[in-house]
Amino acid sequence: MAKGDGLFRVGVVLTPGFSLMAFASVVEPLRGANLVSGKVLYQWRHLSPDGGMVSSGGGLEVLTEPLAKTPEAEFDMMVVCGGMGSDTYQNARLNVFLRRVLRHDVIVGSLSTASFVLATAGLLEHRRCTVHWDYLEAFRETFPRLSVTSELFVIDKGVFTCAGGTAAMDVILQFIRQRQGDEFAGKVSDQFIYGTMRQPRDAQRMALRNRLGVSQPTLVKAIEIMEGSTETPMRAPQLARQVGVSTRQLERLFLQYLGCSPTQHYIRIRLEKARKLLRHSTLSVLETGLACGFTTASHFARAYRRHFKIMPSADRKPEEVPFLSETAAPAAKQRQATAKLPSLEA
């Protein structure tokens, strides 16, 4: 995208329960760009399918304009800000609107769980995409045909998706960089004491060794293999061969650093994945158990209750979130096997 100082118009679509962090991480860099330049380079408007007040996940309400009064010609970019409940949010008016603006060469993006909204609208077909790490497994199960990555953000053929939170600031800063150059984007970043702008392939989460507080390389490698093989779990001897130690040595490492056996830690990983699927996907309890390597519903239920002190069927998304009752969850889909920053104009 060529550098430009002309006015660029952004629509920010807020869904019920939207993330305040993601919302601010889009709007604030645009405001910062105007502040640094000394003139209005960016304008933004708050939108929603029906207009009126939309409540964030933290309870703050924002006044929005209805989509019906916002012709696509008035925008250069349309960003859907997701949050709690966006994984099941359904709005036909929004789907039609997003497809229409994309046909008119408006850049379309999503923040956090709004990747579900773009996927439901059909905007992610034949495009790479990403979503917040906590919803990654559920997204893959719900949309098995899509090319989903764990990257911080993805830009593909005029559509971008990002992990949400401060990752929204990274993608907007990259966009500002493409329009106004590296030095200008750096000045905007400095306004927020943000430091280095992260790149698309940077990790969403901190490194495994930091999450665990363990740096033993063999142990870290074994757990990485476990996290990547949850549907068809490996037995301890097979895992030991993969990391180049004996089964006994692998067991000693787990006991020394984590206070449990490899099998116990592996089950914990699979159950944590199961909880994410139960809360963020429409898979049945049985389908969830199978996706996490449990061969029977009874085995899955026993293990789940032992670990979380609750039955899987009772651990769905909390019903007290008000907006969840406004939309019906989509029908469960049948499970199927399935470097360089690209330009926003690609």
pLDDT at residue 71, rounded to an integer: 77
Q: Are 99 and 129 in contact (CB under 8 A)?
A: no
pLDDT at residue 156, rounded to an integer: 93
pLDDT at residue 282, rounded to an integer: 80
Q: Are 94 and 123 in contact (CB under 8 A)?
A: no
pLDDT at residue 193, rounded to an integer: 83
109-148: string of b/e by CB count within 10 Å (b at 16+)? Answer: bbbbbbbbbbbbbebbeebbbbbbebbbbbbbbbbeebeb
What's the token pair of residue 68? 């019906």
pLDDT at residue 327, rounded to an integer: 33
DSSP string, 177-231: HHHH-HHHHHHHHHHTT--SPPPTTSBSS--HHHHHT---HHHHHHHHHHHH-SS
Task: Please state whether beta strands 153-156 and 8-14 pair in parallel, antiparallel, or not at all (unpaired).
Answer: unpaired
Give start and end residues of each alpha helix (H) in the chain: 20-37, 92-103, 115-120, 136-142, 167-180, 182-191, 208-212, 217-228, 236-243, 247-258, 262-280, 285-291, 297-308
Per-residue pLDDT of the chain (346 residues; tens, 9 = 90+): 334 558 999 999 999 999 999 999 999 999 999 999 999 999 999 999 999 999 999 999 999 999 987 777 789 999 999 988 888 899 999 999 999 999 999 999 999 899 999 999 999 999 999 998 888 888 998 999 999 998 889 999 999 999 888 889 999 999 999 999 989 999 999 989 886 777 776 666 656 666 777 778 899 899 989 988 998 999 999 999 999 999 999 999 999 988 999 999 999 999 988 988 888 788 889 989 999 999 888 999 999 999 988 999 888 754 333 322 233 333 333 333 333 334 443 3
Domains of the chain by range and CATH? Answer: 8-191 (3.40.50.880), 208-315 (1.10.10.60)
Task: Please state whether beta strands 8-14 and 77-81 pair in parallel, antiparallel, or not at all (unpaired).
Answer: parallel
